[in-house]
Structure 1
């Protein structure tokens, strides 16, 4: 078994560790945010962590109504910009917690008056040490270059913050059940997935709302482990240009959780199929483990996808743990 498969399979236990370790801190943070809501949320992250930040963004805006945006770290680290962030929340998400640009943005936001919360797997890292509040991911070591369980825990952590902040009972309950949901997700397979894009020059991965960052993460993993040219788009945005690439047998993977966008997603899938494209919906023709809350279903969907992508990489004769040009920790300025 590859490290990627082994680590992805540990996600249920990793989420359980995170929730148990951070239970009081999450409740306290939720009370603090509820009593004094930030006027805006800034996120600081790169790569898979930025996809987790994107998932948090949608939950934050849908549930609390507070705008949330990813701030380019280079605005501070390279261009020397000064943030106006008094009264904001700055959420840093990082597996290693040591990329200089991410830490620089975090420090600048704090200097500008933002409350800094870090979701970091390495607890003695700069991002963890310098934050006002550090919620340790407790994902454990990841030896594969392809991050899996740390991404899933980061998404679960973001959902837990929003749930405690809003006091949404159904969301809180679904977050508490996530370890069991993920355990079920690990037992699901997608027959035919390894042949889905084997001969394709390119493919699309689509989502809408909270599932869009999950589509971005899926496309990233297909690139780094399988060397497949995969592009992620919103189900709505794909109609604005990329649609022209649709043709017979063009592979399209669509995340379709049973949320408010499902009807539109189904309608778009029908249009794509009319071009002859090979469109497969996660949540319908591809099974998933329902979480009990539609906003959390994308987390269980990516858990299944990781194991399918690992099998796909192996079927291509690739080592998913050691991509040709990548390394585990990437430090950018």
Structure 2
């Protein structure tokens, strides 16, 4: 089997079309929601999700807090679903993110949020799901059927939906224009050569994935995919947090993958990469416009907030290839199902 024969590869390849379709289909519902949020701003934002969807929520936190200035926190689903503890969410925006929209703990949290007086918004791929039925507003991901156990296009669709909502909420024409360029940028960036990742990690046992700010969510997502599809133990860290304890593990030949975007976090992320290289670590860096040994290509020309979508799409393509090279099938990871229904 070649990587292009896998569902993971082909579904990640669909991401540009998914994003374009989503932007067109969701304009009316997002414009209406944004108008309501401007008229009655939430006191704070609560996200609720698990797995890849929670990594999309981590991205949303940085988008909302940096652009909207509204405190955004991730709910611990078990607090409500297991401990049945009532939460003080009056006046909050409760953002539930899910592919299937049927996990029991997510549904219980959405129900609790409604009881507490929060506005419940669901970013969900299955429009007729139980979560969609519970929500005050549904923002469909429009990713279409995703048959690979590894989520790819639905994850990118969730990030795109967060950006769409932010642009309309702020009435930000510049961000809106950038979003219109995003699908073509995804198409153009698909052919970026990330083969050094496969060559470097074919025989690896452990690695760190490092990101910061907008890039932290995709670092978390990449670490999960390494475990899930490649049988490779990976842990994600902020470029700031990795210097508190975890860096003690980084020595000669230890693999480190860094994701960076061209904003105020770039210099600190590259400084960490240089420090690790100085210790003899095997460091790869994906950053827009940077080339040379140890660099993975990323297109330029989009705002830094959009760069993570380009990086994670290239990562998905490379991961599908690495999975096969390590003797796995990325579409059917051992012991996993497409839908995980946590109670």
| 2:149 equivalent in structure 1 | 145
Bigger mean CA deviation after superposition, 33-42 or 64-73: 33-42
Preserved CA contact (<8 Å) 2:203 2:326: no
Structure 2: stretches of 5+ with no match in the other structure: none
C-alpha root-mean-square deviation of aligned residues, in Å?
1.0
Preserved CA contact (<8 Å) 2:320 2:330: yes
Preserved CA contact (<8 Å) 2:16 2:184: yes
Please give the residue correspondences for 1:144-163 in structure 2 after superposition, counting only pairs within 5 Å. 144-163=148-167
TM-score w.r.t. the length of structure 2 is 0.95
Q: Distance in 2 between matches of 1:324 and 1:265?
A: 34
Q: Distance in 2 between matches of 1:36 and 1:218?
A: 36
| 1:86 equivalent in structure 2 | 90
Decide which of 298, 320, 327 is 1:317's aligned counterpart.
327
TM-score w.r.t. the length of structure 1 is 0.98
Q: Distance in 1 between matches of 2:301 and 2:134?
A: 34
| 1:127 equivalent in structure 2 | 131
| 2:336 equivalent in structure 1 | 326
| 1:286 equivalent in structure 2 | 296
Q: Distance in 2 between matches of 1:192 and 1:282?
A: 11
Please give the residue correspondences for 1:236-275 in structure 2 after superposition, counting only pairs within 5 Å. 236-275=240-279
Note the alpha carbon deviations across 1:181-240, whole angstroms, 9 max, x for none.
Answer: 111121212132112122222100000001001000001001000010000000000000
Q: Distance in 2 between matches of 1:216 and 1:112?
A: 30
Which runs of structure 1 show a deviation greater than 4 angstroms over 4 or more consecutive aligned residues? none
Q: Distance in 2 between matches of 1:252 and 1:193?
A: 10
Q: Distance in 2 between matches of 1:278 and 1:114?
A: 47
Preserved CA contact (<8 Å) 1:252 1:280: yes
| 1:223 equivalent in structure 2 | 227
Q: Distance in 2 between matches of 1:196 and 1:167?
A: 44
Q: Distance in 2 between matches of 1:290 and 1:300?
A: 10
Preserved CA contact (<8 Å) 1:10 1:149: yes
**Number of corresponding residues:** 333
1:291 positional shift: 5.3
